[in-house]
Amino acid sequence: MSDAVLATIDRTPEPGMGVFNKKLGMWVFLLSEVMFFTSLIGSYIILRYAHPDHFAAPGELLNVNLTAANTFLLICSSVSMVKAFAAIQQGDLKGLQRWLLVTILMGTAFVSVQAYEYIMLSHEGFLPGLADYTAHAGGPLYGATFYVMTGFHGAHVSLGVLALIFVYIRALRGEYTVADHEGVEVIGLYWHFVDLVWIILFTIVYLI
Amino acid sequence: MNLSWIMPESVSTFGPALDNLYYVILVITGIVFVVTEVVLVYFMIKYRHKEGRKATYIEGSSKAEWIWTSATAVIVMALAIYSKGIWDEIRHPDMFPENAYELNVTAKQYEWNAAYAGPDGQLGTSDDIMSRNQVHVPVDQPVIVNLQSEDVIHSFFLPQLRVKHDVVPGRVWPIWFEATQTGEFPLACAELCGLGHYRMGGTLIVHSKEDFDSWLSEMQIEAEDDE
Amino acid sequence: MSSAIPVGDSHSEDHHDLGFIRTYIFSTDHKMIAKQFLVTSLLFLALGGMLAAMIRWQLGFPGQPLPFNLGAILPDTMAPGGIILPEFYNSLVTMHATFMVFFALMPLMAGVFGNLLIPLQIGADDMAFPRINMLSFWITPVAGAIMLASFFVEGGAAGAGWTSYAPLSTSGEWTGVYLGQILWLVSLIVLGFSSITGALNYVTTVIAMRAPGMTWFRIPLATWSLFVTAWLLLLAIPILTGGLILLLLDQTIGTAFFRPEGSGEPLMWQHIFWFFGHPEVYILILPAMGFVSEVIANRSRKPVFGYHSMVVAIVAIAFLGWVVWGHHMFQSGMNPFLGMSFMATTVVIAVPSAIKTFNWIGTLWKGDIHFDTPLLHAVSFVALFVIGGLSGIFLASAPVDIYLHDTYFIVAHLHYVLVGGSLFGIFAGITFWYPKMFGRMMNETLGKLHWGVSFIAYNLAFFPMHNLGVQGMMRRIYDPNQYEFLQSLQSTNTFISKSVFVFVSVQVLFAINFFWSMRKGKKAGDNPWDSNGLEWACPSPPPHGNFAEIPIVHRGPYEYSYPGREQDFWPQNEAPVESFGASTKPEHKPGE
Ligand code: HEM
Ligand SMILES: [Cu+2]
Ligand SMILES: [Cu+2]
């Protein structure tokens, strides 16, 4: 048996415990998430294409400026996540802690703005259910698709914030080092993914 | 016990073509079925374990693989092309007959309501003639049925005319057929539509042309009497 | 260099130290999780069988009170005086399929064998994420409990079919089932997490944790098919989950995704469902195809005929499976041109299925066939899958499908692939790997008896369903005698029902064999079938951590009856002898 064979096999000496697996696992999981959002976004596209009359023009009902600002916030949080990861790669634990906190705060702010938006919209009678569908421009499909897509995205952000808090606590305890910081990398992947989904949603729900 | 592979008699113009396709598939799959099963059983017997005999080390044969892969591909593609011709005849929008007699059938849990143009010659007006769970059509004349549902999905199934089409609420679904025989033929619902699905049956009544006209005028008189 | 790497010490702890709870209940050991899945899903299989028997009672003996005084047990909302009500019949049909598809076959395939075989066959000590794996199991009984509970709520269990077509399923207004339908949706949403977490593990494990030398084309076909199945699960289940969520919102908060009264699109549900649904049917059969390949090669002591084309066929099926879903909707009002595209893709997918079938037969050719129970089940799989595949051709032809759609022909087709195929494949798998799981052999006499009666009763029950379909009998109808043209089919229906009762009852033999052999079966030894796979290179049952040393793989998994060798098998991890082997047949190069 040759070393050549061994060398071609990508595995850690301690099977199943390596950083490689977790990262791979996250990638694989995100593919699954892609399919989940595909089903929601696909339904939206089909319904909007079939019933354009149900959907108000961009900006007519939704506050595009507010959400644009919110989008910017989320993009910034992706940048701060990158900063956090870069910090721990340099062994800068303080930097990691700082940037994680910034990311958490921006994530929380994003969800809060979204909640505020929901409240404002519901006051205007824009709801997901059937009951109100004569109340304003557009039909019931508008509210339903809007709340489902943004809502499930918001839930993903919220879960991400919780996970970040978990990572943050571990960072405060000094559990990440230059050599060992998979947790930061894996949550980072997730965070960027959620950000990416939002950019797509913002474009198709608010802008076109 | 009924173990027949023969379809019930068909009484629509496209019925025989559809049936032929079915029988062609039946024969082809029948042959493949018999050959594979016989070979399987033969191998099982011939190559059963015997003391002292060893299996022959064979990893495969790309020649054999090519043969059965391409043979299968050719057969199924041919069937698909054959099928397309018949499908187009039945479903292609351009193939819908021009001189067709038109009527509406509206499904709801658990009945079929047919509507025919009344004295004004227009469908969908107040003088329409209605019949419940009976669909009356003339023989030897194409018929277009506009299917509609008031509640859930039903499926308009005329076994002997080789007609089946789901009736999805929210839209009108035109289908056509032409009966070649007079008589009464079953109408069934083929899509689970609730607890009464199993009894959502009816009858297709194919009249001769004259009978059909006189049935229509009879119904008109009845309707006028009711008013 | 030595031929083994010491296992890291994280796993050197003995599992006896873990205590009862962590060993048997909240275990993270993939083999224990496999066993947990096995027992749970066999229970659901039994439940599904009982529901089927009730369906068949109604069809075989319409309007007669259920036997064994079942009427006294069942409440009046289901079967007053023992006579099944139409609404209960619809629940039975729905729940039978739901339990069989989601709670019996899927966990049996992925849950049991994915867990048992993947780490063992690739030479890993466990799954990549053992705790997520444990979670994957524990979600199943929770989802099952929710599903079961729906029988007992007001309005009864869901009755809109396992396909749950909207708008029938969107409101209790149409079915009288309110909470039951909601529980159905919630249960399947929850269950989805089990599939996804499981799949996540299988995919990662196969990619990252193969033993040295285990190149892609040395992976046994069981693991190959489980790996591909895991991808299908991973990508298809979230689609279903998305659809179920939308349907749940329609049910509960009054959205109108699928409800025409709010301009929703009922057909969109069908597209979502079948976009998931067709990959799903392959989830339900690919693993069985893998087990059957292993068993046939092993028991006929021959390499799998065309190993590479088998792998290619599995992968091809998995890709094509995404573009054929419309064949379930030929008569749904879908655009007729679209229908033709789906017909084209559907006939193409018949090709890899045919390739696999011929390869199995080719494997038997010139073999040295040992008629053990696993082989009998595996060959039955081939014989019956042929029938299911061929009946698929009828349905793939859109015009013929006009007549056959939603008739008993569909019921025959799906049971030939899912019972004749998947279930017999599972029996082949269980009987073959039982010794590895429990360290003892199953009883051969009981096993053969169970197989023989099952095989005959199965065919007597399901083959005539083709004929019913050809005579025009619709599926999912409570009482065919309502239709005059179906009345002459009653004797066939009665015959089918009796055969089903035999088929269902004879499964008791399997249950007896299963539990009896656990304690009383002959001791198995490490490698009772003289097999090549790595799973047979560790003790039966394997200890925590599986392999004393990480095995090193030198060859493919099917080197049976290799010319010039004394033994008719050649384990994957057996070190080559210098003078021999290399000269007659070069080793597969890594990474090929
Ligand atoms: C040769 C390959 C196959 C072809 C061409 C084929 C074709 C079809 C078609 C066209 C239908 C829809 C019929 C209708 O509803 O009118 C169908 C239904 C079905 N097929 Fe297949 N099939 C094949 C193999 C399989 C396999 C391998 C499985 C499962 C393991 C499977 C499981 C099913 C099931 C469960 C249904 C019925 C679903 C339902 O309506 O409840 N089929 N098949
Ligand atoms: Cu119906
Ligand atoms: Cu399919």
Report chain C (592 residues): mean pLDDT per 10 consecutive residues.
39 56 84 96 97 97 91 90 94 98 97 97 94 96 97 94 95 92 98 97 94 94 98 98 96 91 93 97 97 97 96 96 96 95 95 96 96 98 97 97 98 97 98 97 97 98 97 96 96 97 97 96 94 95 91 94 92 78 44 36
Please tell me if residue A1 touches chain C, with a CB cutoff of 8 Å.
Answer: yes
- Report residue B2's pLDDT band, with 50, 70 and 90 as the boundaries: confident
Q: Which pair of structure tokens corresponds to residue C10?
A: 């994280």
Chain B environment of C155 (Cβ under 8 Å):
none
- Report residue A18's pLDDT band, with 50, 70 and 90 as the boundaries: very low
User: Does CATH place domain B101-226 in 2.60.40.420?
Assistant: yes
Comparing C-alpha atoms, which of A153, A144, A121, A152 is closest to residue A51?
A: A144
CATH architecture of A22-207: Up-down Bundle (1.20)
Contact C397 B168 (CB under 8 A): no
Run of H or E residues at B163:
strand B163-167
B4-18 average pLDDT score: 96
Number of domains within chain C:
1
Contact B152 C168 (CB under 8 A): yes
Contact A16 C130 (CB under 8 A): yes
Mutate which of A8, A36, A182, A189 to disrupt the C interface (most C C-beta within 10 Å)? A36
SS3 B220: helix
Q: Which pair of structure tokens corresponds to residue A113?
A: 């703005």
Cα–Cα distance for residue pair C409/C473, rounded to 1 Å: 9
CATH number at C54 reads 1.20.210.10
Ramachandran angles phi, psi of C5, nearest 5°: -110, 135
Give pLDDT, residue B103.
Answer: 96
Give residue-wise pLDDT tens across range B199-220.
999 999 999 999 999 999 999 8
Distance A29 CA to ligand 2 centre (A): 40
Give pLDDT, residue A137.
Answer: 57
> Taking a C-beta distance cutoff of 8 angstroms, is the pair C315, C228 a contact?
yes
Say how many C-beta atoms besides its own lie within 10 A of residue A35's C-beta.
21
Contact B73 C351 (CB under 8 A): yes
Q: How far is C271 from chain A (nearest CA, A)?
A: 10
Residue ranges, comma separated, of all CATH 2.60.40.420 domains in chain B are 101-226
In this complex, whether A and B touch, counting 3 or more CB pairs under 8 angstroms, is: no
Which domain does C254 fall in, by range?
A: 21-574
Other chains touching B, judged by 3 or more CB pairs under 8 Å: C
Mean pLDDT of chain A: 87
**Predicted TM-score of the model (pTM):** 0.94
C405 ligand 1 Cβ < 6 A: yes
A153-173 average pLDDT score: 96
Comparing C-alpha atoms, which of C37, C120, C104, C25 is closest to residue C507?
A: C104
C343 ligand 1 Cβ < 6 A: no
Q: Is residue C15 part of a domain?
A: no
Please tell me if residue C480 touches chain B, with a CB cutoff of 8 Å.
Answer: yes
C425 ligand 1 Cβ < 6 A: no
Give pLDDT, residue A131.
Answer: 57
Please tell me if residue C66 touches chain B, with a CB cutoff of 8 Å.
Answer: no
Distance B200 CA to ligand 2 centre (A): 6
Which of C340, C414, C424 to mutate to test ligand 1, by most ligand atoms within 8 A of the CB atom?
Answer: C414
Mutate which of C204, C267, C577, C589 to disrupt the A interface (most A C-beta within 10 Å)? C204
Chain C environment of B109 (Cβ under 8 Å):
174
Please tell me if residue C160 touches chain B, with a CB cutoff of 8 Å.
Answer: yes
Q: Is residue C16 part of a domain?
A: no
Please tell me if residue A155 touches chain C, with a CB cutoff of 8 Å.
Answer: no
- How many residue pairs bridge chain A and chain C with CB atoms within 8 Å of each other? 163
Give pLDDT, residue C467.
Answer: 97
Least CB-CB distance to C262: which of A17, A31, A133? A133
C469 ligand 1 Cβ < 6 A: no
Q: What is the ipTM of this complex?
A: 0.96
> Does the pLDDT at position B44 exceed 70?
yes
Q: Is residue C479 part of a domain?
A: yes
Please tell me if residue C122 touches chain A, with a CB cutoff of 8 Å.
Answer: no
Atom of ligand 1 nearest to the CA of C349: 2
Say how many C-beta atoms besides its own lie within 10 A of residue A34's C-beta.
14
> How are the residues of chain A apportioned to helix, strand and coil, as percentages rounded to the nearest 5?
75, 0, 25
DSSP assignment of C407-438: BHHHHHHHHIIIIIIIIHHHHHHHHHHHHHHH
Please tell me if residue A36 touches chain C, with a CB cutoff of 8 Å.
Answer: yes
Comparing C-alpha atoms, which of C33, B47, C202 is closest to residue A21?
A: C202
Q: Is residue C9 part of a domain?
A: no
Q: Which pair of structure tokens corresponds to residue A194?
A: 């959620």
Contact A5 C254 (CB under 8 A): no
Cα–Cα distance for residue pair C124/C115, rounded to 1 Å: 12
Contact C351 B197 (CB under 8 A): no
Ramachandran angles phi, psi of C25, nearest 5°: -105, -70
C401 ligand 1 Cβ < 6 A: yes
B151-167 average pLDDT score: 97
Which of C98, C275, C417 to mutate to test ligand 1, by most ligand atoms within 8 A of the CB atom?
Answer: C417
DSSP assignment of A105-120: HHHHHHHHHHHHHHHH
Least CB-CB distance to B57: which of C165, C303, C476? C303
C398 ligand 1 Cβ < 6 A: no
Atom of ligand 1 nearest to the CA of C353: 1
Give pLDDT, residue C584.
Answer: 44
C163 ligand 1 Cβ < 6 A: yes
Distance B127 CA to ligand 2 centre (A): 28
Q: How far is A98 from chain C (nearest CA, A)?
A: 30
Ramachandran angles phi, psi of C85, nearest 5°: -85, 155
Give pLDDT, residue C591.
Answer: 37
Chain C environment of B55 (Cβ under 8 Å):
300-302, 366-368, 560-561, 568
Give pLDDT, residue C12.
Answer: 40
Ramachandran angles phi, psi of B113, nearest 5°: -115, 120
Domain boundaries in chain A? Answer: 22-207
Mean pLDDT of chain B: 95
C285 ligand 1 Cβ < 6 A: yes
B87-95 average pLDDT score: 94
Long-range contacts of C147-151 (CB under 8 A, 24+ apart): C147/C95, C147/C98, C147/C99, C147/C103, C147/C183, C147/C184, C147/C187, C147/C188, C149/C183, C150/C95, C150/C179, C150/C180, C150/C183, C150/C184, C150/C187, C151/C91, C151/C95, C151/C180
Comparing C-alpha atoms, which of C386, C377, C464 is closest to residue C429?
A: C377
B103-108 average pLDDT score: 96
Cα–Cα distance for residue pair C400/B24, rounded to 1 Å: 11
Distance C101 CA to ligand 2 centre (A): 23
* Atom 33, ligand 1: residue with shortest CA distance: C414
